[in-house]
Amino acid sequence: MSDPMAVLAMTGATTVVAAMATSVWEGTRDRVVDLFRRRDEDRSAVVRAQLDGDAELVLGEGDDTDGVRDDLVRPWARRLAALLRDHPEAAEELRALVEDATAPRDGDTWSQHVIARAGGAAFGAQGPGSSVHVHHHQPASGDAPA
C-alpha cells in the first residue's frame, strides 16, 4: 500500500473505527458524513446509518472491541479510498479529521502496553509528536520461544 491516497484511506478508516465508543465519536462521525456529502447528499444519510450501526457493534462488544474494530477497518478503508479517488480534494479534510481525532484532549491520559516475546521487537507510539520506543525481549536461558 504505497499509494499515498490508499495509505490516507487506511489511516482514516483506522482513525474512524478507533474513535467509535470514545468521547470524540460524535464529532468524528459528523465530519465523516460531511466528507461523503461530496459524492451525493442522499449518500450521506446512508453513511451516517452505517457509522451508527458500526459504532453500536463496537459498543456491544464491551471491553473486547479489537476483533469488531479489526473487521470494520477494511470496509471503511475501501469507502474512503473510493471517495478520495472521486474527490481528491477531500484528502486535506480527511487528514485534518485524523489529526483532530487523534490529538490528546485536556485531561486525557493515554496508555499502551506493548509486549515483545521470544526475541521479537515491539514498537509503540501514540498521537502526534510521540516518539517510538523499541523494546527487544532477550529470552532468559531456558525460555522457550512463544
Spatial separation of the C-alpha atoms in residues 43 and 88, rounded to whole Å: 18
Number of H-type helices and E-type strands within the chain: 5, 2
Indicate whether 86 and 135 sit together in one domain.
no
Among the listed residues 87, 75, 94, the one whose alpha carbon sits nearest the alpha carbon of residue 40: 87
Indicate whether 89 and 139 sit together in one domain.
no
Q: What is the arithmetic mean of pLDDT over 13-22?
A: 91
Residues 6+ apart with CB under 8 A from 71: none
Chain segment 31-64, per-residue pLDDT in tens:
999 999 987 778 889 999 999 999 999 888 766 6
If one counts the domains in the chain, the total is: 2
Q: What's the predicted TM-score (pTM) here?
A: 0.69
Residue type, 60: G
Indicate whether 14 and 68 sit together in one domain.
yes
Residues spanned by the domain of 24: 4-102
